[in-house]
Structure 1
Amino acid sequence: MAIQQEIGIHEVPRWNKWLILSIQHLFAMFGATILVPYLTGLSPAVALVSSGLGTLAYILITQGNVPAYLGSSFAFIAPIIASTAIGGIEGVMIGSFMAGVVYGVVAIVIKTTGINWIMKLLPPIVVGPVIMVIGLGLANVAINMAMNFDHGAGVFVDPMLHFTVALVTLSITIFSSIFFRGFFSLVPILFGIVGGYVLAYFLGLVDFGPVQEAAWFRVPDFVIPFVTHTPNFSWTILALMVPISIVTISEHIGDQMVLSKVVGQNFIEKPGLHRSILGDGVATIIASLLGGPPNTTYGENIGVLAITRVFSVFVIAGAAVMAVLFGFIGKIEALIATIPTAVMGGVSILLFGIIASSGLRMLIDNKVNLGHKRNLIISSVILVVGIGGAFIELTENVQIAGMALATIIGIILHLVLSGKEHSYGKYPLFAGLEDTDKD
């Protein structure tokens, strides 16, 4: 990067630098943010708008002290797909809204009692395997997209052609991630999608007709309660989506720790973890009121901060405003819709694998001993229950399944099995907790 001088959190860059730096953050989040709605049947335009508004709300709630960008959360992909089949997009938004409410409740409790209780409830031996379940549970989604599975007919349509596009897309993404340097190494998803899209175009898999017909300005297909629909409440959807917020809160804490290290300020103390969690929850609630996927802080944008050393919240806010504006450009939404599923499938093969691997990395980074029977039992049960698709039917209309069930079982095992001190590993954040949990 040409810009090496550090810009502080509350500094306002010159307008030309401000614009360029904000565009960088926009590119960093763009690929992942539109991928989630693409996979789940939601509107990419609404996702962009809710992402921008959620980020602005986050900045306000954290009193302009945390330079974080919020985009679509991958952890909710499988629950959204499952919930859509039960109650449609309207039902999904109720589940998303309640997940955001959980953030708010946790923020209030943390403000009142501190953070030790949540660290005890969610040790690495529980959160790590659950994150692995999130990634591995989506493996079939990625492969079905890569090989163009027709769910209506129940068969693969021209699988070799589409899988070739997917593999080329995957190869470009991997190459970009490994060999590119600086800012370009942070947007391999974008390079992969563009490269795969170009190949798909020459193979006749892209139709630009909808882009030519689309208007430049278009109001996104918002899903607003009591305006476009009557909310569809379902206990099963709540059981599918709300427990995932427990995992994403843990991921949020990890992001805050990394961000604190990058910037050189302790954001867990000031403005406080309760404010950042509340901001994340409010961003998800905003998305649920518009028809977008739940939001979460983005590691890609933290990477941009680390490389540029530009920590200004004004730059982040600029990217958020651009995202909102992009959501109202009809041709952009139409262009996104022309991307073949094989292209997104190729990118997803890597992304979902990385999610699973990040769960394994959590165990390694925290030096959790899987040689201890207690840890081995907890992780094994979580993986099989979550990936195997187990479910518990509480009533005729209430079902707890998949990741939600795996998370709950993991927490219960952690609480009831002896030797809790072995669950925390050696990470500084958990220092001292093992002493208080010795049996």
Structure 2
Amino acid sequence: MREKPVLDIHEVPSKPKWLILSLQHLFAMFGATILVPLLVGLSPAVALVSSGLGTLAYLLITKGQIPAYLGSSFAFIVPIVLATEIGGPGAAMIGSFMAGLAYGIVALLIKQLGHQWIMKLLPPVVVGPIIIVIGLGLAGVAVDMAMYENPGAPESELIYSVKHLLVAMATLAITIGAIIFLKGVFSLVPILIGIVSGYLIAYFTGLVDLTPVKEASWIQVPDFIIPFVSYTPSFNASIFFIMVPVAIVTLSEHIGHQMVLSKVVGRPFIQKPGLHRSILGDGVATMLAAVLGGPPNTTYGENIGVLAITRVFSVFVIGGAAVIAITFGFIGKIAALISTVPSAVMGGVSILLFGIIASSGLRMLIDNKVDFNIKRNLIIAAVITVIGIGGAFIKIDNFQIPAMAMAAIIGVVLNLVLPQDEQEKTEQKKYEEKQNTVA
């Protein structure tokens, strides 16, 4: 018999309990949500505001029926960096907005045609290797932050630092220890514990400068990047192909999260309020973030973990976390404190996080029993992995399709054109049935 929820979806907790439960969700997403903007040169304060607003929009679009929190998406780290190099932060925001529009188009198609077609388009043999590419493609970024005083500088100007590497390794060790050994509420926030602990170590080794915190105001408007104010929007085909294909991965991630949520809460969210509403909510959250200058949003596995452990499914608790996140974004000293986190600390945490992303791709292949004795599966996975990690790209004048986008597009095309034998058709049918099964 399914365990009864402590608070069901539409139950409102008492005010003291409401605050505590909402803070718990905030802390669960906090470390990862602020890490993404720090890695791509955006404002963590804006990321908090856009995360909160995006979550509130998601709750509204899904009619308050799905208790999901949305935070910064790791899948868009490399595309944002590439888009920024081409046309500045404004170009990255335009690309993010187009990715959000792609979500909207997919949501419309699902509403009209049902959701089976997207399961056929994005089977595990395509999505698993793409997720592996995302994780391993970021490996160099994590290692550079861990080893160098000035990560991001040209290779000839990089300054190696044993102190930075030791701080990064200490941060990594503490984060791993928190994941393995901590229980209860603390087990939900190992990334945050790792960042805080690494920050303290960095402070005592002289890597932290608190001057920005002292100079910051308590109440401060975040550094929003707003179209027609901060920049003039313009369409660029290269930005489109850099950003939009990544939605292939995040859409699959979103569907997986909905399946897990359905099982945790005991409601068929894909049927009611419908996958189309959930995907539309995610897309609108991403477009809101793009308009404000934040990274694209996605549903968060960390917060699904909180729901599973606490059995508190109230959307009012999720909404409370969103409101607190928005409030934190306007507290200048908090934003300044986040900006003082040394790259070595973020490098240590990122080594683990990016590795986990790659491992989750492997897990998808294993969980869905993808058989690599079948030549078709082997070819699709091999081509996606080598193109993505190898860095192949198409560039004609100012038009560019980067490696991750190429890998995703070619993977989808190969899956559509390579013939399936009877065994593969049976596996595909089992996968689609699994995606439709709720506890």
* Shared fold (TM-score, shorter chain, > 0.5): yes
Which secondary structure state, in structure 2, belongs to the residue aligned with residue 35 of structure 1? helix
Of 193, 197, 213, 1:211 maps to 213
State the Cα distance separating 1:306 from its structure 2 match. Answer: 0.6
The answer to whether structure 1 residue 146 and structure 2 residue 157 are counterparts is no
Partner deviation per Cα, 1:313-350 (whole Å, 9 max, x = no partner): 00000000000000000001110111100000000000
Partner SS for 2:338: helix
Partner in structure 2 of residue 79 of structure 1: 79
How big is each residue's C-alpha offset from its partner over 1:343-371, in whole Å with a ceiling of 9 and x where there is no partner? Answer: 00000000000000000000011111011
2:286 corresponds in structure 1 to 284
Q: Which residue of 2 aligns with 1:18?
A: 18
Cα deviation code 1:80-139 (max 9, x no counterpart): 111110011000011000000000000000000001111111111000000000000000
1:431 partner SS: helix
Match among 359, 362, 365 for residue 363 of structure 1: 365
Q: Which residue of 2 aligns with 1:117?
A: 117
Q: Kindly indicate whether residue 224 of structure 2 is the aligned counterpart of residue 222 of structure 1.
A: yes
Provide the rounded CA distance (Å) in 2 between the counterparts of 1:425 and 1:175.
38
Percent of residue pairs identical: 68
CA RMSD of aligned residues (A): 1.6
Letter in 2 for 1:58: Y
Q: What SS class does the counterpart of residue 243 from structure 1 fall into?
A: helix
Change (3 A) 1:131 1:423: farther
State the alpha-carbon separation in 2 of the partners of residues 390 and 424 from structure 1.
33
Provide the C-alpha distance between the structure 1 equivalents of 2:200 and 2:434, rounded to a whole number of angstroms.
54
Q: Structure 2: how far apart are the matches of 1:129 and 1:424?
A: 21
Q: Is the 8 A contact 1:68 1:297 kept in 2?
A: yes
Whole-angstrom distance in 2 between the partners of 1:84 and 1:31: 23
Q: Is the 8 A contact 2:368 2:431 kept in 1?
A: no
Task: Give 2:413's aligned residue.
Answer: 412
Query: How many residue pairs are counted as aligned between the two chains?
Result: 429
**Do 1:169 and 1:195's aligned partners in 2 also have CA atoms closer than 8 Å?**
yes
Q: What is the match of residue 181 of structure 2? A: 179
Contact 1:368 1:426 in 2 (8 A): no
CA contact (8 A) 2:129 2:362 kept: yes
When residues 168 and 320 of structure 1 are mapped into structure 2, their CA distance, relative to the original with a 3 A threshold, is same
Q: Aligned partner of 2:360: which letter?
A: S
Q: How far apart are residue 228 of structure 1 and its match?
A: 2.1
> Counterpart in 2 of 1:133?
133
Distance, in Å, in 2 between the alignment partners of 1:59 and 1:432 is 26
Q: Which residue of 2 aligns with 1:254?
A: 256
1:165-204 CA distances to partner (integer Å, 9 max, x unpaired)?
0000000000000111122112110010011111101100
**Aligned with 1:313 (options 308, 315, 320):** 315
Q: Show the 5 A alignment for 1:70-109.
A: 70-109=70-109
The match for 1:437 is none
Other-structure match for 2:328:
326
Contact 1:124 1:423 (C-alpha < 8 Å) held by counterparts: no
1:393-412 alignment, distance < 5 Å:
393=395, 395-412=396-413
Counterpart of 2:172 in structure 1 is: 170
**CA distance in structure 2 between the partners assigned to 1:341 and 1:306 by the alignment:** 33
- The structure-2 alpha-carbon separation of the partners of 1:152 and 1:158, relative to structure 1 and needing over 3 Å to count, comes to closer
Residue 47 of structure 1 pairs with residue 50 of structure 2: no
Contact 1:100 1:285 in 2 (8 A): yes
CA distance in 2, matches of 1:358, 1:426: 20
Do 1:124 and 1:424's aligned partners in 2 also have CA atoms closer than 8 Å? Answer: no
Tell me how far apart the structure 2 counterparts of residues 61 and 171 of structure 1 sit (CA, whole Å). Answer: 41
Q: Distance in 2 between matches of 1:332 and 1:381?
A: 44
CA distance in 1, matches of 2:133, 2:427: 20
What is the distance in 2 between the residues matched to 1:417 and 1:428? 19
Does the 8 Å contact 2:149/2:160 carry over to 1? no
Q: Which runs of 5+ in 1 are unaligned?
A: 434-439
**233-242 or 334-343: which moved more?**
233-242
1:247-266 Cα shifts (integer Å, max 9, x gaps): 10011000000001010111
Counterpart in 1 of 2:353?
Answer: 351
232-241 or 42-51, larger mean C-alpha shift? 232-241
Whether the aligned pair in 2 keeps the contact of 1:71 and 1:295 (CA below 8 Å) is yes
Shift of 1:157: 2.4
Q: Tell me the SS of whatever aligns to 1:223.
A: coil
Contact 2:282 2:298 survives alignment (8 Å): yes
| Contact 1:123–1:423, Cα closer than 8 Å, also in 2 | no
Please state if 1:299 is matched with 2:281.
Answer: no
Instruction: Answer yes or no: is the 8 Å Cα contact 2:148–2:164 preserved in 1.
Output: yes
